[in-house]
A = this chain, B = another copy of it.
Amino acid sequence: MQLALATAGLGPALNAGPVHAHLRPEEPGARRRVEADEEIYAEGDRPLHFYKVVSGAVRTYRLLSDGRRQIDGFHLPGDIFGLEAGDERRTGAEAVVDTVLTAHRRSDRAALTGDAGALACEVVAAMLRALARAQDHMLLLGRKTARERVASFLLGLAERAGADGVLALPMSRADIADHLGLTVESVSRTFTQLERDGLIALPAHRRAVELRDRAALRRLDG
């Protein structure tokens, strides 16, 4: 995806300069190490940085006043998150497991490619990916059954993680539930049901899945 995505809708203005798909390898962003369940930033914080996942996994989420939680996304190695639309964080972010990030000061131009056009491309690409995912996820939350939600989730995660055989699940059932708009019980039941039907296999330690019938899972997608 990267900039091919960005270019289509945005046209020549942002393509005037060279296109960089990622922050440079020599990006000077400060490394930050966070352990499992540690907060990276909270709703309401001032968004001074944005981040790129080096290793581990991150969840970003919103809360209702009574505690109901919606995880709007999991961020895996290579993903950029924490770009914010205002002077206050609209989401909170926490590490799912022990995680390493690079933090980029939003005001630090040197942290980026050094070229405004390319920076715009970089950032816009991240936004477009985020928006595309959000659209997919709204369809999932608004119109899909529990089975379909879990199938979509597993396929999407497998694709992003590039997992061929067994797919690692860094997040808990509660995280998955709050991402898919279900309860932990429903997620668990759906997993066992999919296993019984031969679409997946569940290793003993429960933090992984083997996708045994991707075609069938894909059929559940719509």
B-binding residues in A (CB < 8 A): 1-14, 16, 46-48, 50, 60, 62, 64-66, 68-70, 72-75, 79-87, 89-91, 105-109, 112, 116-117, 119-120, 123-124, 126-139, 141-144, 178-181, 222
Contact = CB atoms under 8 A, between A and B. Distances in A.
A13 B16 CA distance: 15
A165 to B, nearest CB: 24
- Taking each of A62, A83, A128, which has the highest tally of chain B beta carbons within 10 Å of its own beta carbon? A83
14 contacts: A3-B130, A4-B60, A5-B86, A6-B50, A6-B84, A8-B85, A9-B82, A9-B85, A66-B222, A69-B143, A72-B134, A72-B135, A131-B134, A137-B138
Nearest to A14: B120
A163 B142 CA distance: 27
Nearest to A2: B81
B91 A3 contact: yes
Identical copies of this chain, number:
2
A122 B191 CA distance: 44
A130 B73 contact: no
Contact of A83 (B10, B68, B133): B10
B50 A130 contact: no
Contact of A70 (B66, B130, B142): B142
B123 A10 contact: yes
